[in-house]
Amino acid sequence: MRLGWLGVFLSCILLSVQVNAGTWPQEARIPGGIAILEIPQRSESPPHVFFNNQRVYTVKKEGRWMAWVGIPLNQKLGKAEAFWRTREGDLPLTFNVADKAYPQQSLKVAPRQVNLSAEDLARVRREAPELSGAMNNFRPVILPLPALVKPLEGRHSSPFGFRRVFNGEARNPHSGLDLAAPQGTPIKAALPGRITAQNHYFFNGKTVVIDHGQGLTSMYCHLSAFANLKVGDEVEVGQFIGEVGTTGRSTGPHLHWTMSLNAARVDPELFLP
Binding residues for Zn ion, rule: CB under 5 A, are 176, 178, 256
Q: Which is nearer to Zn ion, 85 or 155 (CB)?
A: 155
Q: Which is nearer to Zn ion, 157 or 239 (CB)?
A: 157
End-to-end CA distance of the chain: 39
Q: Which is nearer to Zn ion, 55 or 265 (CB)?
A: 265
Q: How far is the CB of 252 from Zn ion (least distance, A)?
A: 11
* Distance from C-alpha of 185 to C-alpha of 206, rounded to nearest angstrom: 14
Give the distance from CA 110 to its chain's centroid: 28
Q: How far is the CB of 68 from Zn ion (least distance, A)?
A: 23
Give the distance from CA 163 to its chain's centroid: 19
Give the distance from CA 136 to its chain's centroid: 10
Q: Which is nearer to Zn ion, 176 or 193 (CB)?
A: 176
Q: How far is the CB of 161 from Zn ion (least distance, A)?
A: 11
Based on the number of CB atoms within 10 Å of its own CB, is 240 exposed (0-12), middle (13-18) or buried (19 or more)?
middle
Q: Which is nearer to Zn ion, 51 or 202 (CB)?
A: 202
Secondary structure (DSSP) of 201-260: ETTTEEEEEEE-STT-EEEEEEESEE-S--TT-EE-TT-EEEE-B--SS-SSSEEEEEEE
Q: Which is nearer to Zn ion, 158 or 214 (CB)?
A: 158
Q: How far is the CB of 250 from Zn ion (least distance, A)?
A: 8
Q: Are 168 and 111 in contact (CB under 8 A)?
A: no
Q: How far is the CB of 253 from Zn ion (least distance, A)?
A: 12
Q: Mention every residue, 6+ apart, whose C-beta is less than 8 A from residue 18.
A: 146, 147
Q: How far is the CB of 5 from Zn ion (least distance, A)?
A: 51
